[in-house]
Each structure stands twice: as structure tokens, then as C-alpha cells.
């Protein structure tokens, strides 16, 4: 590091002219980072391998080269250190965007995130805010080895003071990240690893230069339907859309709501959809017990009870440590499991018998 004010003196090399094009989600995130750095000289990137290498997923590819090492740099391999350092940088007026290399590698930083990142505004009566974005490649479906596929969103969503965002589309990866970097509060930005190579468009040049920051707290209806609402986020939105298509063969018209931000949560859009359809299934890749899906199911039943024709069901990952690659298809919510859940939504208004037999009476007596 130099002692100069290089962060403010140099004009970064201009990024290629933005134009609507089909890009990968990884490239869309790269573009969002570049555009944010160009728009605001206080935006800095750092983490493990994000500099010269461009990140293990190449999300920061070329940024250190084009913007200089003062704006995008490698750190020692220590996640609490990275987050704690970001807290200090933010106190000095920067807007750090930091990378936790993989979901499970963020756990050493949990104390910094839960005790400081989330609470600094409250601990200082609003005098010190921390505009930090913590990017976390998360979830599975990539055949990864242990500690590389955790769905850790519930830990963050359960922590007051953190916004938790997860894009399901390439366009949202761009739009939501720009808004996250612009946000005055800390944002946990969870990037579904298996969507890094998915393709889609980023917004038109005009939207890139003058982005609108109005997506947080606004879920998107990705597909309209009249019989069932599927609520999903991040990597599960594609599963929901595929299930919705498949469900038409059984005569079900399925609506898909993509939450986009878990915090702030959009009760309004979710409840409006369920009031219309009368049935709801929540999909999440994370293990189900005490998860975000459970919270959503509870909220829907509290707010739309008289509109419901059936209990809100959940399709979630199994309550197990992340499985080996050959078995992950059994763990991950798939189209079939979602269709099974839809089939259980009391279409004949008959009781669901599966829970009528208790463990005690249903054994080998």
C-alpha cells in the first residue's frame, strides 16, 4: 500500500461501454462493481484472491488491473480480519465491498458481523453507519466438497441490522448489487454459486449510468398464476419456475414470487399473491428447520389465514450437513419434490394423513 491519496487521485481506466448484452451472472456482478467504483471513488474491494487472480470465481476479474491496487486488493487469509478491517475503513468514510470466498469460510467473521457490522448504527445513535457489502458465494449444486456449499442466509437474516439480499437473475445480480453498494447500511449479498454461469441481460446503458435504487424490499412476481403461490429466492427461483411450468400439465396455474431481498422482507407482495391463489409453498435450498422458509410460512399464515385453502408447505434442504456430490440431488429441492408438495395442498379438502400417525403409535407394535 502506498501513503498517497491514490484512491482519489487517479482516474480509473474506463470500463468497456455498457450495452445491453447477454452476459453471465459473474460478469454482471463484475460490471456492477466496476460501475459502482467509477461512480464513487470511495468504493473499494478487498478479500482473499480478489486482486491479481480476480477471485476464485473470477467475479473481480481485471478490476485490480484497471482500477489499481488501492481500489481492489488482496488481504491476508483471515475472514474476521477482512470484516473488521472493513468496519474501520467504513468508519474512515470508504464503502468497502468485501468477499468471503465461500459461504462456510465466512463463519470466522461471524462475531464481527453480528456484534459490530450489524450493531454499529445502534451503538452510536446513528452517528456511525457502516455502508459495507459482504459478498458471499453461497449454496450448492456445483458438486463442491465439504465447507463449500452451505446455505447460510438464515444466520444473517436472524441478525437485526443486516440487510440480506440474494439475486436469482443476471439482471438482478447487477441491479441489487448496485443498490447494495449505495445503501447506507450493511448488506449481506449472497450470490448463488451455481448461477454464476447462467446467462441473461444486464440493464441498458442509461440504467447503468443513473441506476434506480428502489428494489430492496420489493419482491418480483416472476410468473403469474391463479392456483398456487411458490415463494422462493436465490438459487431456488429457477426450481420454482421449472416446477410451475411442469405443474401446468396437471392443470395447476402456479405463481412464482422471487423475494430478492430477505431483509427487508416484502410481506405485501407475498401476501397479495397468496390471497389471490389461496395456496402457498415456500422453497429454500437451506436445511429446513428454523430456516427463512419457516419464517415465511409463519408470516403467510398470520396474514392470510382466511384466504388459505391449505396449510403453507415448505420444500427445503434436508436437515443434514451438506451431502457429498453424488447425493446432493437428494438434498436439493427439485421440481419433483415441489410438485409433490403442490399435490398435497388439500385439493380435495381431505385431511393430510401423513401427520395423523404419531411416532409412538406408528412403530413396530
Beta strands (DSSP E) in 75-141 are: 95-99, 133-138
Range 163-202, binding another protein (CB under 8 A): 163, 184-185
> Which grid cell is 168?
436469482
| Cβ-based nearer residue to another protein, 78 or 205 | 78
| Cβ-based nearer residue to another protein, 217 or 334 | 217
* CA 312/CA 345 separation, integer angstroms: 8
Cβ–Cβ < 8 Å for 247, 150: no
Tell whether residue 298 is a contact of another protein (CB under 8 A). Answer: no
Give the neighbor-by-neighbor strand order of the sheet with 313-317. 220-223, 254-258, 228-232, 280-287, 313-317
- The region of 21-29, 92-100, 144-152, 247-255 touching another protein under the rule CB under 8 A is 92-100
> Which grid cell is 314?
415448505
CB of residue 115 vs another protein: minimum separation in angstroms? 5
| Cβ-based nearer residue to another protein, 39 or 114 | 114
- Contact code string over 236-265 relative to another protein, x by CB under 8 A: ---------------------------xxx
* CA 96/CA 98 separation, integer angstroms: 6
CB of residue 46 vs another protein: minimum separation in angstroms? 10
Peptide bond into 139 cis (omega under 30): no
Tell whether residue 160 is a contact of another protein (CB under 8 A). Answer: yes
CB of residue 216 vs another protein: minimum separation in angstroms? 9
Tell whether residue 125 is a contact of another protein (CB under 8 A). Answer: yes
- The region of 155-163, 281-289, 330-338, 341-349 touching another protein under the rule CB under 8 A is 155-163
**Count residues contacting another protein (CB under 8 A)?**
51
* CA 36/CA 85 separation, integer angstroms: 20
Contact with another protein (CB under 8 A): which of 20, 88, 143, 324? Answer: 88
Q: Is 230 exposed, middle or buried (0-12, 13-18, 19+ CB in 10 A)?
A: buried
Reference 67, options 25, 36, 89, 21; nearest CA is 36
Tell whether residue 70 is a contact of another protein (CB under 8 A). Answer: yes
Tell whether residue 80 is a contact of another protein (CB under 8 A). Answer: yes
Tell whether residue 217 is a contact of another protein (CB under 8 A). Answer: yes
Q: Which single residue is written with the C-alpha cell 468508519? A: 91
Half-sphere exposure of 288 (CA within 13 A, CB side): 13
Tell whether residue 128 is a contact of another protein (CB under 8 A). Answer: yes
CB of residue 95 vs another protein: minimum separation in angstroms? 11
Reference 312, options 226, 230, 216, 232; nearest CA is 230
Exactly one of 8, 116, 147, 148 is catalytic; which is it? 148
Contact with another protein (CB under 8 A): which of 38, 64, 75, 198? Answer: 75
> Which grid cell is 98?
468485501
Cα–Cα distances in angstroms (integers) from residue 275 to residues 222, 243, 271, 307, in the given order: 17, 21, 6, 5
148 flagged as catalytic: yes
Reference 285, options 233, 241, 247; nearest CA is 233
Contact with another protein (CB under 8 A): which of 146, 224, 268, 352? Answer: 268
| Cβ-based nearer residue to another protein, 28 or 89 | 89
Tell whether residue 92 is a contact of another protein (CB under 8 A). Answer: yes
Cα–Cα distances in angstroms (integers) from residue 89 to residues 41, 84, 86, 129, 132, in the given order: 13, 9, 5, 12, 9
- The region of 109-117, 171-179, 219-227, 285-293 touching another protein under the rule CB under 8 A is 109-117
> Which grid cell is 301?
399464515
- The region of 26-34, 88-96, 242-250, 339-347 touching another protein under the rule CB under 8 A is 88-96
CB of residue 4 vs another protein: minimum separation in angstroms? 6
Three-class SS of residue 199?
strand
The footprint of another protein (CB under 8 A) covers 1, 3-8, 70, 75-76, 78, 80-81, 83-94, 108, 111-112, 115-116, 120-129, 160-161, 163, 184-185, 217, 263-265, 267-268
What are the catalytic residues? Answer: 148
Amino acid at each position: 500500500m502506498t501513503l498517497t491519496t491514490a484512491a482519489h487521485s487517479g482516474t480509473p481506466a474506463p470500463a468497456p461501454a455498457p450495452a445491453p448484452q447477454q452476459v453471465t451472472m459473474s460478469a454482471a456482478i463484475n460490471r456492477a462493481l466496476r460501475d459502482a467504483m467509477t461512480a464513487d471513488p470511495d468504493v473499494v474491494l478487498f478479500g482473499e484472491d480478489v486482486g491479481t487472480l480476480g477471485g476464485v470465481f473470477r467475479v473481480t476479474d481485471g478490476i485490480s488491473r484497471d482500477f489499481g491496487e488501492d481500489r481492489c486488493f488482496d488481504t491476508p487469509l483471515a475472514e474476521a480480519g477482512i470484516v473488521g478491517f472493513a468496519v474501520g475503513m467504513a468508519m474512515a468514510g470508504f464503502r468497502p465491498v468485501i468477499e468471503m470466498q465461500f459461504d462456510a469460510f465466512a463463519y470466522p467473521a461471524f462475531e464481527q458481523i453480528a456484534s459490530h457490522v450489524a450493531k454499529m448504527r445502534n451503538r452510536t445513535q446513528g452517528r456511525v453507519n457502516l455502508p459495507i457489502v459482504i459478498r458471499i458465494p453461497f449454496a450448492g449444486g456445483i458438486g463442491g466438497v465439504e465447507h463449500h456449499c452451505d446455505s447460510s442466509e438464515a444466520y444473517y437474516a436472524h441478525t437485526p441490522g443486516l440487510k440480506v439480499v440474494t439475486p436469482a437473475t443476471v439482471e438482478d445480480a447487477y441491479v441489487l448489487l448496485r443498490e447494495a453498494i449505495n445503501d447506507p447500511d450493511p448488506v449481506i449479498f449472497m450470490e448463488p454459486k451455481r448461477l454464476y454461469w447462467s446467462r441473461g441481460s444486464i440493464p441498458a446503458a442509461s440504467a447503468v449510468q443513473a441506476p434506480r435504487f428502489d428494489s430492496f424490499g420489493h419482491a418480483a412476481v416472476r410468473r403469474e398464476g391463479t392456483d398456487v403461490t411458490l415463494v422462493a429466492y436465490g438459487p431456488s427461483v429457477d426450481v420454482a419456475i421449472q416446477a410451475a411450468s411442469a405443474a401446468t400439465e396437471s392443470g395447476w396455474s402456479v405463481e412464482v414470487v422471487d423475494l430478492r431481498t430477505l431483509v427487508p422482507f416484502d410481506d405485501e407482495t407475498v401476501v397479495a399473491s397468496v390471497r389471490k391463489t389461496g395456496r402457498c409453498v415456500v422453497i429454500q435450498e437451506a436445511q429446513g428447520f428454523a430456516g427463512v422458509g419457516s419464517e415465511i410460512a409463519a408470516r403467510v399464515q398470520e396474514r392470510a389465514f382466511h384466504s388459505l385453502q391449505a396449510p403453507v408447505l415448505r420444500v427445503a434442504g434436508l436437515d443434514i450437513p451438506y451431502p457429498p456430490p453424488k447425493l446432493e440431488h437428494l438434498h436439493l429441492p427439485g421440481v419433483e419434490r415441489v410438485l409433490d408438495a403442490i399435490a398435497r395442498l388439500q385439493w380435495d379438502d381431505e385431511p393430510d394423513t401423513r401427520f395423523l400417525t404419531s411416532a409412538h403409535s406408528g412403530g413396530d407394535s
